[in-house]
Structure 1
């Protein structure tokens, strides 16, 4: 009799489970896809997105379809979302339903073991290691090293015309190298820099694996870069001291079974950190100089703030310190407003791991989901007069989930504090010692892939007169 009831219970449980599954599927079928256009076959709306101002692309579709709409870009069906509430669901509260994803060609260029492409235990372990390397307590000792890079770089700009984006890439790369490897070894890092430049060109090109294409050259550079970094890993593993930077942290790490990360895991994450710390920071710095150039009153206010710090540093006959960078509230607001106005990271990619209902619409399993940071940052409901460059708007904290320059949730950028630190140090020396003028009258934006001023913002850099500096300080 007990066996009979056990079998009856088991059958009832199976039937109930099946009914729940069918009910759920029926409910999902009843849900409709978000409105929108899928564009041309395969190409979709990719060309429209990457050849016009993204503000225009997003706002046109929002007006026509609302805050959630479908499209087709980079060969993938996508759902774009532009409300803070929906972004929070995808990135935070139901992040387990939306895994981070990149186009396969880009994943190959960075490395499949990099933190960006994973969830679960492996991601959690790496996130803790990377975060530990970029906490304020870990990066505060980098101020003097970053300042040396700044002083060397800005002195080479004096009385010359620079391509701002290219120069900022040099700066961001040098800082990324310190963060990744600790102490500098110019012979090693010059080789890495050359290979990374080849890799970057291919990363941002069409993935055509044909002889002579940037993509084919980048694949070769990626292989050589991997070999070079693995040689560094081998030397450090054989040494009693694992060295500084993120590389040292990754080499020292052991999991709960006392296993080290493999060479491939370490190499992919080092390349990933350089990638994350390079393009975006360089683009943000380019925009900051553009906005300060176009808003002279803001530039002068920042200069006054920085001159007070410079005077104290000069009086004590020392270099810039971590504590000095904590006394730059206006400059910090300029950085925040640039991150909002420029929105260098227009969106991020996620992928639905199962059929998901979002705000009454169905997102099928495998579809990409793109929270639109740019649309949220340029919404007048959250940021009045969004086209105006106004750092004072950050005198009060923005509404939750409306300011997302570094993403949100478990996959938010762990290097945000380092990025802000290097920007503060550069602005300290640049605003107090130099002035800049845009060369030419061509205005506008180019995309490669991040939005930057056209032609990389050519600037003529000139030294401020010592009389002006002295008068301002006194």
Structure 2
């Protein structure tokens, strides 16, 4: 009895000492350096409208710094090691999160805002729409739409390309995901554009704000998508598109997706198959216009392949130099600048304390400028991704145009497929050059695009 008392007393003292030691340890480990900006809005406006925000912060504070954006205390962590830590500690120290405006507009049932087992099971269902067999079935329609747009652009001769590319990617997404042709000419497109403009804004729900307008358009979009889903459910056989696959999909327990869930998932897929792809394609045509020697190598490869009939998956695999070019496009101007995580358990990284309930942002654009992985990173150089160099394989999570870990972009192969088909058809048929007196500075939110919309003159090969 006496031994038991002294044992527990010493254990109590030990635990108390341990807690005091932990408190003292936390005090000695400081928060990352940085500023939090103005009350309520923090540094949100600079984050949204200054394309060099991250570059300036990194230059002043280094690889890890604190700020306040979208109403949240936020730590930005830059580099392959930071990415690896965050991706491999998903659901342990961090979970995926988005700014409030994005969460609300994507919807509470959207895969993007879910985590844990629900996210895992739903991701498996949605992944069925992007399996190799499904992707191969998309090639003919993707090629057909691309050829139609190229013919139209050649007739136009001079155009502002970015808005046209938005129409193109929206038509491809709607055709292959929900079997709606020429969707860019419908009310669906204008509502979708307004909805996109509210995704990364301050969540102020007033009639004249981008967020308020986007909320109204979200309701209209969901109503239209619901009508499409109900009509398809009444058909005896589903069409060969992503919606058809998802209508047939069942989870491990044999349950199908509900209409409410399908609506949010389809809206997410339309966004993923449109916004970032438009950015990537505009970056490709811009960079090719600025690097005619590289474009000529791409053109030579296309001519040597002698594609006289429809593009096939076998022909696409032979476009090895084009593959290197597209990888460098995604490195040089990644369509997504970074991603967000919420801290669910306080942790320490590289000597700094990251508190619970803070937001962490990992940086894709700045990671792609790490000189130890990408020497002379400011130079556009597809050779980095040649079989001899393989820059994308040198360090885990050093090349992450589609994110990484449990949250890696579900539609990345769809995006790669569309980029390759677009580039092949365009290069095979067109010459293009930038028109003078335009502002090519990149607006970065929600995805990079030239300020003046990319004005070009386009002619037939």
Aligned match of 1:362 in 345, 349, 353? 353
Q: CA RMSD in A?
A: 2.8
Aligned to 1:392: 383
- The answer to which of 161-170 and 61-70 deviates more is 61-70
The whole-number CA distance in structure 2 between the counterparts of 1:154 and 1:365 is: 51
Judging by fraction of residues, say which structure has more helix.
Answer: 1
The whole-number CA distance in structure 2 between the counterparts of 1:144 and 1:346 is: 31
Q: CA deviation at 1:152?
A: 0.7
The whole-number CA distance in structure 2 between the counterparts of 1:121 and 1:14 is: 38
Aligned to 2:437: 441
Aligned match of 1:163 in 133, 150, 160? 160
The whole-number CA distance in structure 2 between the counterparts of 1:23 and 1:391 is: 52
Aligned match of 1:178 in 171, 175, 192? 175
CA contact (8 A) 2:183 2:189 kept: no
Report Cα offsets for 1:393-431 as digits up to 9, x if no partner. Answer: 111222222111000100010111111111111111211
The whole-number CA distance in structure 2 between the counterparts of 1:7 and 1:228 is: 71
- TM score, norm. by length of structure 1: 0.88
Q: Are the structure 2 counterparts of residues 202 and 39 from structure 1 closer, same or farther at C-alpha, using a change threshold of 3 Å?
A: closer
Q: Are the structure 2 counterparts of residues 43 and 154 from structure 1 closer, same or farther at C-alpha, using a change threshold of 3 Å?
A: same
The whole-number CA distance in structure 2 between the counterparts of 1:17 and 1:196 is: 57
The whole-number CA distance in structure 2 between the counterparts of 1:76 and 1:221 is: 26
Q: Are the structure 2 counterparts of residues 29 and 205 from structure 1 closer, same or farther at C-alpha, using a change threshold of 3 Å?
A: closer
**Matches for 1:239-318 after TM superposition, within 5 Å:** 239-309=235-305, 311=306, 313-314=307-308, 318=309
The whole-number CA distance in structure 1 between the counterparts of 2:38 and 2:16 is: 39
CA contact (8 A) 2:174 2:181 kept: no
The question of 1:49 aligning with 2:47 is answered: yes
Structure 2: unaligned runs, 5 residues or longer:
none
The whole-number CA distance in structure 2 between the counterparts of 1:134 and 1:186 is: 22
Aligned match of 2:76 in 77, 80, 92? 80
CA contact (8 A) 2:338 2:364 kept: yes
- The answer to which of 184-193 and 33-42 deviates more is 184-193
The question of 1:58 aligning with 2:54 is answered: yes
- The answer to which of 11-20 and 436-445 deviates more is 11-20
Aligned residues: 454
The whole-number CA distance in structure 2 between the counterparts of 1:377 and 1:433 is: 32
**Matches for 1:44-123 after TM superposition, within 5 Å:** 44-54=42-52, 57-94=53-90, 96-123=92-119
Q: Are the structure 2 counterparts of residues 205 and 83 from structure 1 closer, same or farther at C-alpha, using a change threshold of 3 Å?
A: closer
Aligned match of 2:38 in 37, 40, 49? 40
Secondary structure of the residue that 1:203 maps to in structure 2?
A: coil
The whole-number CA distance in structure 2 between the counterparts of 1:366 and 1:199 is: 28
Structure 1: unaligned runs, 5 residues or longer:
465-474
Aligned match of 2:450 in 426, 429, 453? 453
Aligned to 1:345: 336
